[in-house]
Amino acid sequence: MSATETAAAIKPLVNGLPANFMTDGPTYAKGATLGFEGMSFYVGGRGAVLGDVDADVVTAAFVYFEPESVRSGWELAGTVMSREQAASEFAECCDQWGRDHLSDGPNYERAAELIGKVVNDASPAGAPLFAAWRALDEPDDEKALVIHRLNGLRELRGALHAGAIIAAGFEPLEAVMVTTPYMAGIYGWPEPHPVVDAADARMVTAEAATDAAFARAALGTLSDAEQAELVALSAEILAAQV
The domain ranges of the chain are 3-239
How far is 121 from 222, CA to CA, in rounded Å?
A: 10
φ, ψ of residue 102 in degrees (nearest 5): -110, 110
Question: What's the pLDDT at 213?
Answer: 99
Question: What's the pLDDT at 141?
Answer: 98
Q: What rounded mean pLDDT belongs to the chain?
A: 98
Q: Is the pTM of this model over 0.85?
A: yes
The pLDDT of 104-111, averaged and rounded, is: 99
The pLDDT of 12-40, averaged and rounded, is: 97
Q: What is the per-residue pLDDT across 53-103, written as a single tens digit (0 to 9) for each?
A: 999 999 999 999 999 999 999 999 999 999 999 999 999 999 999 999 999
Question: What's the pLDDT at 42?
Answer: 98
